[in-house]
Structure 1
Amino acid sequence: MTDKNNGGYQDQDRALDIIFEELKGNKISKAVRKAKIFSTIRTIGISLITFIVLSIAIISISEKVSVIKWSEYIGKINHSYTIQGPNKFPGMFQSYRGYFGGEVEHKTFKYIHGKRVYTGTYTFQYNLLGEKHPQWNGTLINNTNMTDEELNYLPRYNHIGQKLMVFYYPYVDYGNRYQNDLSLLEDIGNEKYMEIALSFDEEYSMDEVEGMIPENINLTWYWVNSEEESHKSTQKRYIDEQDMGNGEIKEVEQYPDLCYEDQAYGIKAINEYGEKIEKPEENFIKALKNGDVTSLYNIIAGSDGTLTKEDIKVQGVVVTGDTESLKLLEDLPFIKATSIGVITDKY
């Protein structure tokens, strides 16, 4: 009896042990599952918080970088108009800033003897790697009977179809190819204002030029000699030997360079309101020194490395006026060529 009873008790004990073990195992499993769930939730929470914090930091940094880059490139644009673009000024800037970059668009105008004339819209994109400008692809002329020399002297236009003024280097002999747009004044008539580029027979100082231009003529821009002496010979007419392959060498005639207004460097004598600038060379020198054209500064400055007004050599100017006032320029001996640019109505 006793053994049977003991065996029964033992069986009951084992059954209870099993039940307790199962309960204990269930509790442990539940605890483990809860711990895993909590750990997962905590990991997700930490990751989410980290992501939010990093995103806010990245957005904040990108905005600061974008603003810095925007200011940098606006400064470059303003510098460029200080040393280039006769009579040309930037209008209001419109910006689209994004992450670590953006896009800047600005319209330009010319101030022609009291009138503002729209001259185009320009856009560039910028990012951490630099800036990107749209590329303008010219049309290749291949169905003409004109010679290469004639093509070299064809008029050029900006992207909205306005004629570009052209300058003639004083140290280059252009033969009978000098342009004389003063001869067109009678055909243009008296109800127009215009700008006209004057190319000189030699280099002059700024002070000399001021005394050479008639008082009734509005002098708005000085074309400055910015070429290295070693480069001047390549702007003249010469024969270039080109390797055509298979050992064949062909002599190709290179025609004298012209300097179009969008390639020229110079000094603005008026501001965007048409007001005369006192000591305009100071703005030019400052822009060269602080801008991205320090090599140009060194070329004009000469051997001493310090650019002053005395170092500036003027090869031509841009003036504005009406037909009657511009006729005062006819037959002036120091003018080798004249090129009309933008023409606008007086009223």
Structure 2
Amino acid sequence: MNDEEKLKELFEDKGPSNFDKVIKKAKLFSIIRGVITSILVFTVVGFVGLIFNATTLNELGNEKKIELENYYRIAHPNSYIGSDQMDDGLLTGELDYVTYRFLGNKPIVDGNNKESYTYLPLINGLYGDISGLLYEASGDSEQSKRYSKVGKNVMQFYHPSVKYTKYRDDLSMINKIEEDKVMEMSLSFDKSYSISQVKSMIPQNITLNWYWVDTYTKSKVTELGSHIEKIGNEEEIPVNKREKHISPNIILYEDEVYGIKSIDEAGKNKETPEKDFIDTISSGKTNKGKNQQLYETLFSKLSKDKVKITKDNIKILGVVVTGDKDSLKLLKNKSFIKASSLGAVGDKY
């Protein structure tokens, strides 16, 4: 082969070379490897993310449950947390729990409640009415009744240092209740008493479920009392033309008071009922959480020496009792009772 033929063969197109084939195979292999790597990375990251989501929400759910259990130890008269279930989704979870209360030694369902939790604060919680009321009451603010979402009367409490124009007296209507019923009732006292005094004041055949503790400062008691509110600019309106509005006394409802449960979650009497109350407040003020400020405020009011709360620091303003019609009749005309408010009513058997 002469030089001309060799040169022609060199530049002649004979299809793809082996080198081109190698390049194409390398590119295809690189793409496949990238896809497999992406799938593996996505799988690993997704798996780690799911573990993180489940672990974090589980911790938050347990913290929410402990937070609620502690709060129920000092609040929600005669109400306890029963069965619960945590439902964790993506980013958020929900604690669904049942509450119950005791009428004598009989537990009755108080309602179903939900609490949401998340590790992303920008994600909102539950929507809608969270007041726990069946509807918003209207009318006379001093006597209007409130009903829970299960139709239970929400009990009222009257502070002994406030003079109310009207006092609820549901003990007077107890004869209208059937013989086969048991019920709970809040009693507001004429003054504060010690725990031992209260125990001796309540008849033996009546179950003493809860003590209303005096957690009020002087300024807070003043807020509960009626006062005149001036309406209008005092500098521009003559004195005889200024409007005045008398703000009525504030009646407290059972979701606005704090106190001591005298029976445990199984309905048995506690030997030292004030212990859980004191321990919960004392530990709660040092634990960061939703109610830390509340615990700090309660501790400051109750611990006279600012070091610890003792039984002697605790003064009782009222109680919640339960029993049947005949036993609760024994409370009629007791001089230490300023007001009585009917709560839940259930069948005795």
How far is 1:110 from its partner?
1.3
Aligned mates of 2:232, 2:17 — CA distance in 1? 90
Q: Residue deviations 1:112-139, cap 9 Å, x none?
A: 0122222211112211146835524775
Q: Relative to 1, partners in 2 of residues 1:299 and 1:64: Cα closer, same or farther, differing over 3 Å?
A: same
Matched with 2:163 is 173
Residue number in structure 1 paired with 2:246: 253
Q: In the alignment, which of 189, 195, 212 is matched to residue 184 of structure 2? A: 195
User: Is 2:146 the counterpart of 1:156?
Assistant: yes
1:270 matched to which residue of 2?
263
Whether 2:229 is the aligned partner of 1:240: answer yes
How far off is 1:243 after superposition?
5.3
Q: Distance in 2 between matches of 1:322 and 1:140?
A: 30
SS at match of 1:132: coil
Alignment of 1:311-330 (within 5 A): 311-330=313-332
Q: Would you say how many aligned residue pairs link Structure 1 and Structure 2?
A: 331
Q: Does 2:26 correspond to 1:32?
A: no
Partner Cα separation in structure 2 for residue 165 and residue 106 of structure 1 = 22
3-state SS of paired residue (2:159): coil
Give 1:250 deviation, angstroms. 4.5
Query: Is the alpha carbon distance of 1:129 and 1:286 closer, same or farther for their aligned partners in structure 2, counting shifts above 3 Å?
Result: farther
**Deviates further, 127-136 or 212-221:** 127-136
CA shift, 1:33, in A, is 1.8
Cα distance change on mapping 1:11 and 1:135 into 2, 3 Å: same
Alignment of 1:72-151 (within 5 A): 72-129=63-120, 132-133=125-126, 134-136=128-130, 150-151=140-141
For residues 280 and 262 of structure 2, the distance between their equivalents in structure 1, rounded to whole angstroms, comes to 14
Distance 1:27 1:251, change over 3 A: farther
C-alpha displacement at 1:234, in angstroms?
Answer: 1.1
Residue 336 of structure 1 corresponds to 338
Residue type of the partner of 1:288? Answer: I
- Among 171, 174, 184, the alignment partner of 1:185 is 174
Runs of 4 or more consecutive aligned structure 1 residues displaced over 6 Å after TM superposition: 246-249
Matched-pair identity in %? 32
Deviations 1:69-94 (A, max 9, x none): 11001111211221112221122102
After superposition, the C-alpha distances for 1:219-266 in whole angstroms (9 at most, x for unaligned) are: 11000112232222111000123458x977743221111111121111
| Deviation string, structure 1 residues 84-114 (Cα, Å, up to 9, x no partner) | 1222112210221123331111122211012
Which residue of the partner structure matches residue 294 of structure 1? 295
The answer to whether the 8 A contact 2:137-2:145 is kept is no
> Which whole-Å deviations, capped at 9, do the CAs of 1:255-295 have from their partners, x for residues lacking one?
11111112111110012322101211111122223342322
Name the counterpart of 1:43: 34
Quote the residue 2:59 is aligned against.
68
Secondary structure of 2:56's aligned partner: helix
Q: TM-score, normalised by structure 2?
A: 0.87
TM-score for the superposition, normalised by structure 1: 0.87
In structure 2, the CA distance between the partners of 1:28 and 1:252, relative to structure 1 (3 Å rule), is farther
CA distance in 1, matches of 2:339, 2:330: 15
Q: 1:208 Cα deviation (Å)?
A: 1.8
| More deviation, 291-300/204-213 | 291-300
Aligned AA for 1:111? F
Give the corresponding residue for 2:10.
17
CA distance in 2, matches of 1:22, 1:68: 70
Distance 1:243 1:14 in 2: 109
Greater Cα offset, 217-226 or 298-307? 298-307
The change in CA–CA distance for 1:207 and 1:165 in structure 2 (over 3 A counts) is: same
Greater Cα shift, 318-327 or 10-19 = 10-19
- Looking at structure 1, the residues matched to 21 and 277 of structure 2 have their Cα atoms a distance apart, in angstroms, of 80
Instruction: Say what the alpha-carbon RMSD is for the aligned residues.
Output: 2.5
In the alignment, structure 1 segments of 5+ residues that lack a partner are 1-7
SS at match of 1:262: helix
Secondary structure of residue in 2 paired with 1:151: coil
